[in-house]
Structure 1
Amino acid sequence: MTARQPVTTRQPVTARQPVAQEVTAWRPRVPGVAEVFHARFTGYAYPMHVHDAWTLLIVDAGAVRYDLDRHEHGTPGDTVSLLPPHVPHNGSPATADGFRKRVVYLDGALLGDHLIGAAVDSPDLRDPLLRQRVGRLHTALARPGDELEAESRLTLIGERLRDLLRPRPGTRPDTRPEAGRRPDPALARSLRELLDERVTEGLALEEAARLLYAHPAHLVRAFSGAYGIAPHQYLMSRRVGRARRLLLDGVPPGETATATGFYDQAHLTRHFKKLVGVTPGRYRSSAR
């Protein structure tokens, strides 16, 4: 795993240099993600430049204006912007207060070069479902140990982007989250069996898709449809179940975290408290 190594810079606003910068960037261990970049800029403008990856951008405060392929665009808060690789663009604050943004740079294989033209024509996607999914992806990417959740969320985002960029001629893309998806209980059961075999060591979605000869997005949908829970939620609940037994046997939380597949004790505590209602330490001390 490439450890998250935040890089933060700050420049106070002054009369001579009205620029403020706050930047955090890291490379998570999630297939398809080249970099995560969170930033707040005031008074700073990007010159024209290109990336060799797809740029998936959401703005949490303020707005950005930018030129792409000699056309001006903007990013209000409910918009997801997708900038294709190798196409020049710039960027600057659209308001006096600047902007706060979250960006995921995606490997080209996730979407493919054949969608570059469509992204150049319509880089700003006003789609509430997509905006929600991208926000949740960032939350998962910021938490070491939740790579399966991030990978699952990313594969659904990739599917959604392809749907939005390739609507059928004469139609608009269906905005229903499960439109046109068929249940597949046999595939869901196979994935559950795989997860049961890998509770401690974990299972990457990409590997599961390869082993089960299924597209990652179809895997996530089939499992969620069959069991009413996402694969990453199922795996975490199995780990918490094992952790409960160890804690009641008197095993300290730190050792329990390692023995049950959590990234560290903090990772165990977050999921344990979410599912049980108390911290692992308090749960252990309650044992009779």
Structure 2
Amino acid sequence: MAGEREVTAWRPRVPGVAEVFHARFTEYAYPMHVHEAWTLLIVDAGAVRYDLDRHEHGTPHDTVSLLPPHVPHNGSPATPDGFRKRVLYLDGSRLGDELIGPAVDTPDLRDPVLRLRVGQLHSALARPGDELEAESRLTLVAGMLRHHLGHRAAEPYERRDPVLARELRELLDARVLDGISLEEAGRLLHAHPAHLVRAFSGAYGIAPHQYLMSRRVGRARGLLLDGLAPGAVASATGFYDQAHLTRHFKKLVGVTPGRYRSRAR
């Protein structure tokens, strides 16, 4: 009997993420295998047991597991009901080879805040149009992983940088409709993406993706007051689709775009 198997996988438009993989297994056991990418794993139900570098490990609910590339490992359910997991496969642009040794020694990280952040990252990756938010969350998660593995000096910069924060704000203002990735912003402003997020959030009390969405919602309000239909407003203000507009509009304004338009004077 093969047991229950449910799998969802996709490749998001977020630099550094090779694949997102969500699975529910009851009896299936992975044989020994390797990945070219880093494996960032959280378990939402049940538990997984696995062998890495000839040592047995487990993944209770509050654990974030980071398995390095090219190191053999397997995996099987550790409970009778199996497990439900969410996995990110990250390429070397997010985590360098210098972390492979520490990750082999300590693959399971007990940190509730990191666990929460990885879950939020998965949620952002599942929403088309929220790639900047996903990239921002991934950048901060990668920094937390490096911190856990003892590479605190991997990003030698101060949190506050008002000049850089202003430059990023001006760049976001100029790209409200088309948007911009942190990777591109980093190239244009000659700064590490994580530095961009921390500098902007420290200066303005809001993350770059939140700022961009609030600018788009502001433009949407004006077009709705002009009488445009929500679908047309979504495409005119940089949202992925009408559902994307509705989600962010309701979050910031408290009502849907359609209701806002119908109640306008």
TM range (shorter): over 0.9
Aligned equivalents of 1:182, 1:92: Cα separation in 2: 41
Task: Give the partner amino acid of 1:107.
Answer: D
Corresponding residue of 2:242: 265
Aligned equivalents of 1:127, 1:119: Cα separation in 2: 15
Task: Give the partner amino acid of 2:238.
Answer: G
Q: TM-score scaled to structure 1, two decimals?
A: 0.89
Unpaired segments ≥5 residues, structure 1: 1-16, 169-179
Aligned equivalents of 1:121, 1:221: Cα separation in 2: 29
Corresponding residue of 1:105: 89
Aligned equivalents of 1:278, 1:217: Cα separation in 2: 33
Contact 2:42–2:86 (8 Å) recurs in 1: yes
Corresponding residue of 1:51: 35
Corresponding residue of 1:152: 136
Corresponding residue of 1:119: 103
Task: Give the partner amino acid of 1:284.
Answer: R
Aligned residue for 1:220, secondary structure, equals helix
Percent identity between the two aligned chains: 82
Deviation (angstroms), 1:114: 1.6
Task: Count residues with an aligned counterpart.
Answer: 261
Aligned structure 1 segments of 4 or more residues deviating by more than 3 angstroms: none
Aligned equivalents of 1:287, 1:215: Cα separation in 2: 43
Aligned equivalents of 1:285, 1:230: Cα separation in 2: 31
Task: Give the partner amino acid of 1:20.
Answer: E
Corresponding residue of 1:237: 214
Give the counterpart of 2:169 among 192, 201, 218: 192
Contact 2:168–2:200 (8 Å) recurs in 1: yes
Give the counterpart of 1:224 among 157, 181, 201: 201
Q: Does 1:35 align with 2:12?
A: no
Aligned equivalents of 1:133, 1:186: Cα separation in 2: 28
Aligned equivalents of 1:133, 1:210: Cα separation in 2: 25
Deviation (angstroms), 1:86: 0.6
What's the Cα RMSD here?
1.1
Moved more, 155-164 or 85-94: 155-164
Deviation (angstroms), 1:182: 3.2
Deviation (angstroms), 1:181: 4.3
Aligned residue for 2:199, secondary structure, equals helix
Q: TM-score scaled to structure 2, two decimals?
A: 0.96
Corresponding residue of 2:44: 60
Aligned equivalents of 1:167, 1:139: Cα separation in 2: 27
Corresponding residue of 1:281: 258
Moved more, 58-67 or 121-130: 121-130
Corresponding residue of 1:136: 120
| Distance change in 2, residues 1:127/1:181 (3 Å) | farther
Aligned equivalents of 1:263, 1:113: Cα separation in 2: 35
Aligned equivalents of 1:234, 1:76: Cα separation in 2: 36
**Aligned pairs (5 A) from 1:196-207:** 196-207=173-184
Aligned residue for 2:93, secondary structure, equals helix
Corresponding residue of 1:12: none
Corresponding residue of 1:13: none
**Greater length-normalized contact order (CA 8 Å, ≥ 6 residues apart):** 2
Aligned equivalents of 1:105, 1:41: Cα separation in 2: 19
Moved more, 118-127 or 158-167: 158-167
Q: Does 1:208 align with 2:185?
A: yes
Task: Give the partner amino acid of 2:190.
Answer: Y
Aligned equivalents of 1:201, 1:242: Cα separation in 2: 13
Task: Give the partner amino acid of 1:226.
Answer: A
**CA deviations over 1:66-113 (Å, ceiling 9, x no partner):** 000100000001100000011110000100011110000001221111
Deviation (angstroms), 1:129: 2.1
